[in-house]
Amino acid sequence: MEHCILKVALDAPLDFCFDYLWSLEADAPRPLSGQLVLVPFGRREVMGLIVAVHDDTDVPLDKLKSALAVRTQLAPLSAAWIALCAFAADYYQRPLGEVAIPGLPKNLRLLKTTSLDKAIKKLARIDAIHDATPFAMPQLNPAQQEAADAIASASGFAPTLLYGVTGSGKTEVYLQAAAQILAHSKEDDNPAQILILVPEINLTPQLEANVRARFPGVMVATLHSGLAEGERMTHWLAAHLGQARIILGTRLAILSSLPHLKLIIVDEEHDPSYKQQEGLRYSARDLAVWRAHQLSIPIVLGSATPSLETWHHAQSGRYRKLELRERAVKDAVLPKVGLIDLERKAPREQMIEGVSATLVAALKLRMERGEQSLLFLNRRGYAPVIACDSCGWISNCTRCSAFLVLHKLDKRLRCHHCGFEQRIPKSCPTCGNVDLQPLGRGTQRVEESLQQIFPQARIMRIDADSTRRKGSAQEAFDAVHRGEVDILIGTQMVAKGHDFQNLTLVGVLNPDTALFSHDYRASERLFAQLMQVAGRAGRAAQKEGGSASEVLIQTRYPQHPLYAAVRSHDYDTFATELLEERQQASFPPFIYQALLRAEAKEIKIALDFLHEAITCVDYPGITMNDPIPMTMTRVANVDRAQLLVECTSRPALQAFLKVWIAALREMKTRVRWSLEVDPVDI
């Protein structure tokens, strides 16, 4: 009987593919690259991806195991998709199988085909060709129309930064550019697909509702980790088969199979959520740019506060820059930003449970006028820590270098790093003092304080604790949009992407800690965060007799230049100065980095491993910094250290990493280590 050799990628920490034997039966089709295959691996049967089919192999045939079954119900994954996974694996220094296989829906990787068969039958009942004519697209202003036309008319690889102030109508530009591209491909045998990425799951429902309303005849698929496995399978399959014309998703969507992709849009491209922080530590934004280059299609990176890397590319001419300098709604203006100086001793600035008297008065004024307010505090829980005044005991996590956060409503102390929790002690564990005090403030404590100050107000808190139940976040945002909330309190979940039409006041609590962070990206992130949350105010035209939109930032450092840039909404100057500082200090984007992390039961063991890692390869042009403990040294009873590697050349760094990784794998150690290319948290 004739046979062929299947080269199969498996989800295993081995940097090569495996050869399996496949017997060719009479009249049976030959397996194809891109098909999934069930193979024996050790004592298990696992699903793999065929990346090549050969007639011979260097391995003796009697040493090869036979593949068990090829999944023929599914159309093969394209060569372009495999090339995308191969690039990601090569660049981020991971095996191909660890990229390709986890990028597929979980139900597709199961041994049984029941879920796949159901999804295929479900999609077969839906007409694959839909009417892409948009429904009642709003009139764009001249700047928006120019941007939409420029995006839609671009040919080949055309990376574009859509730089627009908050509320400038970037989403409308996306949709109308997408409408033009879909219309142009209407008569094609393979109608175009559009991929729109957003940084967080809670931003997808609002965008999805908008897209479905505008394109009622187009199948829309959503891809994010919040979907049930069966639902994710159906949406992924609709995209893979080309039936879904518009695909919305978070970072994992960049690895989805899209055979007719013609445009990629990355909204809020600056957001750190696009960087995966576990497993394959990839940047969805960077992979999106590479995928657009691979397919020779346009890509749009949209932001009011672009990342410095993107801004640098735009300033140098590598990316085209389209600007939206005005808000899209007529008579809607950017909010006035004011600073509340917490160091002043004037009576009117006395604090009421962390909220200044000036801010309290502003909240009261908005309530009297029937307008909404938002208080932003990027710290959930009731208080960051509880302490004993008598002996100095504080609620440390016994497993981490962190405090246990007080969650008063749940009556628990909880670690936000390892998940450990315990009951709130009735007395100090050290001295028995019953008067334990919360220190600092989280969103729960601010909510409690405001309910006491404004007993008649409709107050809602939106953070990771209040939105644990599936769908609860969207229910909360819908209540705000319906006008059922007077004061909204939230973390970064509320800071971006939401269009609150009646919100005229934003108050920012406790932003100063980021001013003195060891992280060189902290000021960039704080500026973006403040500009994004400020942009929630004044998005609609000002009502007659209504309040002008306003942002009030409580700070002890009102003279800091970052706040001056926020007050003037001057990202251009801020980014230019920050880039100059980065260049002088040899920080990205003027240098390229990789970070080797080591975990062990004792910090000395981790540091010893990193010191040995420095000496295992001698490579010119590479700078290796001294190994140091990580800022959060201990998490879940594991000590962690890091080694930062830098180089002025990206190709040289990549070449070194390949040699270095091979040497590290040869080292005999019990240390658990991982490598991150282009780290965002150092």
pLDDT higher than threshold 80 for residue 128? no
Q: Is residue 583 part of a domain?
A: no
* pLDDT, tens only, 10-35: 999 888 899 999 998 877 889 999 99
Closest CA to 553 of 515, 519, 517: 515
The pLDDT, as a whole number, for residue 21 is 94
In the predicted model, is pLDDT for residue 362 greater than 60?
Answer: yes
Q: Same domain for 617 and 562?
A: no
Among 219-233, 321-335, 359-373, 480-494, the range scoring the smallest mean pLDDT is: 321-335
CATH number of the domain bearing residue 44: 3.40.1440.60
In this structure, are 158 and 73 located in the same domain?
no
Is the pLDDT score of 226 beyond 90? no
Query: What pLDDT is stored for residue 661 in this prediction?
Result: 94
pLDDT, mean over the chain: 91
On the CB side of 449, CA atoms within 13 Å amount to: 19
Of the residues 275, 296, 324, the one at which a domain ends: 324
| pLDDT tens digits along 575-584 | 999 999 999 9
Asked if the model's pLDDT at residue 528 lies above 60, the reply is yes
Do 346 and 369 lie in one domain? The reply is yes
What are the C-alpha distances in Å from 126 to residues 68, 185, 187?
A: 32, 20, 19
Of 71, 102, 133, which residue constitutes the final position of a domain? Answer: 102
What pLDDT sits at residue 189?
67
In tens, the pLDDT along 486-514 reads: 999 999 888 877 778 889 999 999 899 88
Beta-bridge mates of residue 19: 7
Name the pLDDT band for 542 (thresholds 50, 70, 90).
low
Query: Dihedrals φ, ψ of 16, to 5°?
Result: -160, 165
Place of tokens 């990355």: 266
Buried b (16+ CB within 10 A) or exposed e, 488-514: bbbbbbbbbbbebebbbbbbbbbbeeb
3-state secondary structure 245-279: CEEEECHHHHHCCCCCEEEEEEECCCCHHHECCCC
Q: At which residue do the structure tokens 């699903």 appear? A: 47
End residue of a domain, out of 324, 345, 365: 324
Rounded-to-integer distance, Cα 607 and Cα 318, Å: 40
Query: What's the mean pLDDT in 430-454?
Result: 91
Structural domain for 601, as ranges: 592-677
User: Cα–Cα distance between 575 and 566 in angstroms, integer?
Assistant: 12
Question: Domain containing 493 — which CATH number?
Answer: 3.40.50.300
Same domain, 190 and 246: yes
Q: By percentage, how much of the chain surpasses pLDDT 90?
A: 69
CATH label of the domain that carries residue 600 = 3.30.70.600
Burial class of residue 71 in the structure, from the number of CB atoms within 10 Å of its CB (0-12 exposed, 13-18 middle, 19+ buried): middle
* pLDDT for the residue numbered 333: 79
Q: In this structure, are strands 298-303 and 261-267 parallel, antiparallel, or unpaired?
A: parallel
Torsion-angle region of residue 675: left (phi > 0), alpha (psi -120 to 50) or beta?
beta
Q: What is the mean pLDDT of residues 254-279?
A: 95
Q: Which two tokens stand for residue 175?
A: 């949709």
What local confidence, expressed as pLDDT, does residue 650 receive? 96
Proportion of the chain above pLDDT 70, given as a percent: 96
Does 363 map to a domain?
A: yes
Confidence of residue 472 (pLDDT cuts 50, 70, 90): confident
Note the pLDDT of residue 349: 59
The dihedral formed by the CA atoms of 497, 503, 504 and 510, expressed in degrees to the nearest 10 = -60
566 within domain boundaries:
yes
For residues 619-647, average pLDDT: 95
Q: Is the same domain home to 358 and 505?
A: yes
Report the alpha-carbon distance of residue 679 to residue 676 in Å, rounded: 6
Q: Is 82 helix (H, G, I), strand (E, B) or coil?
A: helix
Q: In total, how many domains does the chain have?
A: 4
The answer, yes or no, to whether residue 257 has pLDDT greater than 70, is: yes
Reported as a pLDDT band with limits 50, 70 and 90, residue 555 is very high
Residue 389 lies in a domain: no
Q: Which residues of 73-191 form beta strands (DSSP E)?
A: 158-164
pTM listed for this prediction: 0.93
Distance between CA atoms of residues 93 and 83, nearest Å: 15
Does the pLDDT of residue 592 top 60, yes or no? yes
User: 47 in a domain, yes or no?
Assistant: yes
Q: Is the separation of the CB atoms in 497 and 203 below 8 Å?
A: yes
Q: Are residues 486 and 374 in the same domain?
A: yes
Decide if 110 is inside a domain: no
Residue 59: pLDDT band (50, 70, 90) is confident
Same domain for 185 and 209? yes
Buried b / exposed e over 349-375, threshold 16 CB at 10 Å, is beeeebbbebbbebbeebbeeebbbbb
In a domain, 113, yes or no: no
Does residue 530 share a domain with residue 667?
A: no
User: What's the rounded Cα separation, in Å, for the pair 285 and 309?
Assistant: 11
Count the Cβ atoms, other than its own, within 10 Å of residue 528. Answer: 23
pLDDT for the residue 269: 97
CA separation for the pair 100, 94 (Å, rounded): 11
- Give the model's pLDDT for residue 285: 98
Statement to judge: residues 225 and 153 lie in one domain: yes
Same domain, 492 and 607: no
Judge if 348 and 476 occupy the same domain: yes
pLDDT the model gives residue 294 = 97
Check pLDDT > 80 for residue 541: no
Write the CB contacts of 478 (distance below 8 Å, at least 6 apart in sequence). none
pLDDT > 90? residue 346: no
The Cβ-side half-sphere exposure at 610, using a 13 Å CA radius, reads 27
CA 125 – CA 375 distance, rounded (Å): 48
User: Counting Cβ atoms within 10 Å, is residue 406 exposed (0-12), middle (13-18) or buried (19+)?
Assistant: buried
- For residue 450, being part of any structural domain is answered with yes
Give every CB contact of residue 491 below 8 A, 6+ residues apart in sequence: 376, 377, 378, 379, 380, 443, 462, 463, 464
Query: Are residues 83 and 156 part of one domain?
Result: no
